[in-house]
Structure 1
Amino acid sequence: MKRFRFTQQEIVFAVFVVLFLAFAIFLPGFFSPENMLTLLQNVSVLGILGLAMAIVVIGRGIDISLIAALAVPPGVVLQMVQNGHSLPSALVAAGALAIGFGLVNGWLIAYAEVPSLFATLATGIFLAGLGQAALFQLDVVQWSEGMAGFEKLGQGTILGIPTAIVMFAIACVVVFILLRQTRWGAYIYAIGDNPFAARVTGIPSRPIIVLQYVLAALIGYFAGLVMAASVNSMPTRIFNSTLIYDVILVVVLGGIGLSGGRGGVVNVIIGTLLIGTMLNGMTIMNIPYAGQNLIKGVVLLLAVITDTILNPRNEETAQQGDI
């Protein structure tokens, strides 16, 4: 008899469906229009960050500095406009900051050969500290008149669909094309699968690694703009939250192997749906923040163990020390 084997993403999607239906039936207020709008907005930002993390993890790295890229460059946009600069010039300046940040990350990892975990941890702390010490006047950078109309990026609708979800969908399409339809994407998968073999075949490994972190920083910047437009401010202290762990949960639960070279946009979407629904349900149930962290920690541990079983690291990959 033919044996049916389910992939991790199929299992996670089934768990999402069951969890969503259970919350909709048994949790008062979960399926209300207001909560669904909140859920969609939160899921969109989390999903966009998941796409950034996926690009790095597929290439056998990790980016702990994503939340700094989410908070600081968009905060710079709001602060510059508040100080009298035009919105276009603020967007360009903040974009240059995000690109420079990604270049530093990429150089440290690709050329200085600092393990990605430690490099991005250090640069993320530095960028967040720079913002709080020198760039922002307050921890929460407020909206100003010069930003008028930009809030539609996170609060408007297109054909009845919340703009934040449309932005997530656009990001998914762009990342899918990059990973699956371009030579750069093929290089990222090749480096993630076997960096030594990729280098021997002539793939420019170091520049591609730099590219991964530049793209991650830019996508994080984009996610921050969507978030700021959704709440009409940028709470820069979000860097101190556990959001980065939610992003890692999205990637690992969705089925993107930490050993590199596997997964894609579909995995991010499935992981985002599950984690977004779980976080929203726990908030409605008034589970304390410490309790939520406990639950997320257990889920992350189980996800990493599952990933280790499904995507074992051989002796060659274990010697890399990238993750």
Structure 2
Amino acid sequence: MTIDTKPSASSSTSRSFATNLSQERIVLGIAIFLFVVFGITLPGFLDPQNIISLIQSVSILGILGIGMAITIIGRNIDLTVISVMAMSTAWVLYMIGNGTPVLTALLLGYLFVVAVGIIIGLLVAYAEIPAIFATLAMITAVYGFSRVALVDLDLAFLPESASWMRGFGGGYVLGIPVPVLAFAGVALIVHLFLKYTKLGTFVRMGGDNPLRARIAGVPTRPMIVFQYVLSASIAFFAGLLLATLVATMNTRIVNSTMVYDVILVVVLGGVVLSGGRGGVTNVIVGTILIGILLNGMTIMNVSYSIQNLIKGVMLLTAIVVDTYLNPRDEQTSQQGDI
């Protein structure tokens, strides 16, 4: 007796339908639904000033999410993005305020984030410390070192002498806020990088199957270091946008829940935690949904604690769904990075 092990057309269609629902399409659908509901029910939601504020805040979150996504696609994670963003940018503002030329301050700030990225990459790739623990420890290390050696301030302000920099984060081009254009630019560049460059292919290969990638000649360890340098660089860029938008950088943001918002937009959008799958579009739709949700809850005067509870439940649900749809393979379990 012969048993037909080939899946039927109907079962294949069902699985394909379920897969499509699990990706960014359903998240985008929910975002559109919430936008319509909030627009109808919440006074002021569709106010042009509110929409601009929403888009600007979403853009910063989305840029950070893209940096986080690069490391997750590479089968790692970077919890230091907020710490790197806040402390490097605050140091740059502090140096400018003390008379350091703007370009010199920017260069020193960038060298700082590159050094942080290299250190994290070495810890993960060569010392083989699980990424979640290495980056968790580096949050405190970056914050503590910066407060002791670089800038011992809770608030670093953009000095009047560099007020022209406000045009970077708070300006408009053809009526479009610069942060939105910056988000679009970063998204396009990273999309092209992941899809069409050899290094982008290496990131995906290393995330999908590290052993096979190594056998194929991919320099997996240096690529991990490279991922963290990219993530830190994008966080620095996001920090400059934020600082020039509001003319200050609050270093206490390091102790906020913002890093969970970044993880949420990445995972909710559909970037697979086990690595190798997902992309920029996933981050974009996740960012749109969370931006609309947070803005709506703010208008409804939902307390900060309740907002955190809702976001926590959403993050947990997204992780459970990701685990169900994309089971952890043996290599991921052995690496223990997430």
Q: Same fold (TM over 0.5)?
A: yes
Counterpart of 1:35 in structure 2 is: 50
Task: Count the aligned residue pairs.
Answer: 323
Corresponding letter in the other structure for 1:135: L
Q: 1:137: Cα distance to partner?
A: 4.1
SS state of the match for residue 245, structure 1?
helix
How large is the Cα RMSD of the aligned pairs? 1.1
Aligned mate of 1:310, from 284, 309, 325: 325
For residues 60-79 of structure 1, the aligned pairs below 5 Å read: 60-79=75-94
Deviations 1:52-93 (A, max 9, x none): 000000000011111011101111110000011110000000
Q: 1:136: Cα distance to partner?
A: 2.0
SS state of the match for residue 164, structure 2?
coil
Matched, 1:221 2:236: yes
Counterpart of 1:258 in structure 2 is: 273
Counterpart of 1:126 in structure 2 is: 141
For residues 265-280 of structure 1, the aligned pairs below 5 Å read: 265-280=280-295
Unaligned runs of 5+ in 2: 1-9
2:223 and 2:232 mapped to 1: Cα distance?
14
Aligned mate of 1:16, from 11, 21, 31: 31
Tell me if the contact between 2:146 and 2:152 (Cα under 8 Å) persists in the aligned partners.
Answer: no
Matched, 1:234 2:249: yes
SS state of the match for residue 249, structure 2?
strand
1:235 and 1:170 mapped to 2: Cα distance?
25
Pair member with larger Rg: 2
Which TM-score applies when normalising by structure 2? 0.93
Matched, 1:159 2:139: no
SS state of the match for residue 156, structure 2?
strand
SS state of the match for residue 275, structure 2?
coil
Structure 1 range deviating more: 169-178 or 136-145: 136-145
1:226 and 1:286 mapped to 2: Cα distance?
27
Tell me if the contact between 1:132 and 1:139 (Cα under 8 Å) persists in the aligned partners.
Answer: no
Aligned mate of 2:315, from 288, 294, 300: 300
2:293 and 2:148 mapped to 1: Cα distance?
35
Aligned mate of 1:101, from 116, 126, 147: 116
Deviations 1:19-46 (A, max 9, x none): 1111111011111111111101100100
Tell me if the contact between 1:86 and 1:146 (Cα under 8 Å) persists in the aligned partners.
Answer: no
SS state of the match for residue 165, structure 2?
coil
Matched, 1:54 2:69: yes
Aligned-residue identity in percent: 50
Counterpart of 1:204 in structure 2 is: 219
SS state of the match for residue 141, structure 1?
strand
Aligned mate of 1:290, from 302, 305, 310: 305
2:264 and 2:254 mapped to 1: Cα distance?
17
Corresponding letter in the other structure for 1:112: A
Aligned mate of 2:160, from 132, 140, 145: 145
Q: 1:196: Cα distance to partner?
A: 0.7
Which TM-score applies when normalising by structure 1? 0.98
Q: 1:231: Cα distance to partner?
A: 0.4
Counterpart of 1:112 in structure 2 is: 127
SS state of the match for residue 57, structure 2?
helix
For residues 157-196 of structure 1, the aligned pairs below 5 Å read: 157-196=172-211
SS state of the match for residue 150, structure 1?
helix
Deviations 1:129-181 (A, max 9, x none): 22223322420101102322111111111111100100111111111121111
Structure 1 range deviating more: 105-114 or 283-292: 283-292
